[in-house]
Structure 1
């Protein structure tokens, strides 16, 4: 089930977000960033703040099954004018066990619908260049590579590219209900 997130979801989203980082980013980001993002207490606190003061009211959705949050998407107005879009996918994460079931597509469709409701017709998402799976997902949903940048965490450079959906109305709606966990 895809539904809007509530403040009460902050602890579960925080735990899930930390676990998604553990599953996805070892060796792809500097150790200090990895440690920060995989600390469940820090993620829970960050999500308590995010849901108390959202960048876009109603802009976070969760994928939930049997009471467990398996993923989320957060959308907002673009925070960086260099993106050249009105909207931004500020986060889209799924636990590994929930991937390849249609949940990512369902979350993206919910986020696109929310942005369209705000009158935002295009959006971008920053993706680490080393995250090949996320890049392939965005391309499969109609996004094209846009601008790239390199950021530094301490001495370590991290390269990322903005993937851009020029027309959010072209993001296909979610398929049939996602396949159940096995």
Structure 2
């Protein structure tokens, strides 16, 4: 069960957690650009990070919100500090849960605060799900393992960055 518009108090910070709307797409695009720079600088090629404009990301988030994704947004004092989104699995992949955690990003200022767990709970609860995670992102892998996801033998190269990814599944 999802409760829209709740506030979460943790680490002495009040964060509003709610479903995103099209009006949030620009803020999410700016946030994702900042978040990727904070989290992936040194892992993702600098050329990719430097070349990806927030406007492109905002346009993608607009399409996702009006399309087939459910997008959760966390704000602190009006600023986006976290985003999670889900998508439906291709029905041809009967070996995977029906739900994909397509993205989850948390601002560096919120790392260790519990916000990522709150976003995960809002987005998928205890449902079986799957996701892709950069093979080099050990922090994310520890987080997903803590939440009962298990790495599979399925790997791919991220089409945007060229980095290796591993599929993780929670049944």
* TM-score (norm: length of structure 2): 0.80
Partner of 1:75: 86
1:158 maps to which of 139, 142, 163: 163
Residue 4 (structure 2) aligns with = none
* Residue 180 (structure 1) aligns with: none
- Going from structure 1 to structure 2, the CA distance change for 1:75 and 1:31 (only over 3 Å counts) comes to same
1:5 Cα deviation after fit: 0.6
How far off its partner does 1:148 sit?
A: 2.8
Please give the alpha-carbon distance, in whole angstroms, between the structure 1 residues aligned to 2:66 and 2:96. Answer: 28
Secondary structure of the structure 2 residue equivalent to 1:130: coil
- Contact 2:158-2:165 within 8 A present in 1 as well: no
Question: Which of the residues 25, 39, 46 maps onto 2:53?
Answer: 39
**What residue in structure 1 maps to residue 23 of structure 2?**
8
- SS class of match (1:148): strand
Q: Does structure 2 conserve the Cα–Cα contact (< 8 Å) formed by 1:30 and 1:153?
A: no
How large is the Cα RMSD of the aligned pairs? 2.3
Structure with larger RCO (C-alpha < 8 A, sep 6+): 1
List gaps (5 residues or longer) in structure 1: 167-182
More strand by share: 2
Instruction: Please name the residue that 1:84 is paired with.
Output: 96
- Asked if 2 retains the 8 angstrom alpha-carbon contact of 1:15 and 1:40, the reply is yes
Aligned partner of residue 81 in structure 1, secondary structure: coil
Contact 1:20 1:94 in 2 (8 A): yes
Structure 1 residue runs of 4+, over 6 Å off? none
In structure 1, the residue matched to 2:106 is 94
Paired residue for 2:38?
23
Matched, 1:63 2:113: no
* Structure 2 unpaired stretches of 5+: 1-15
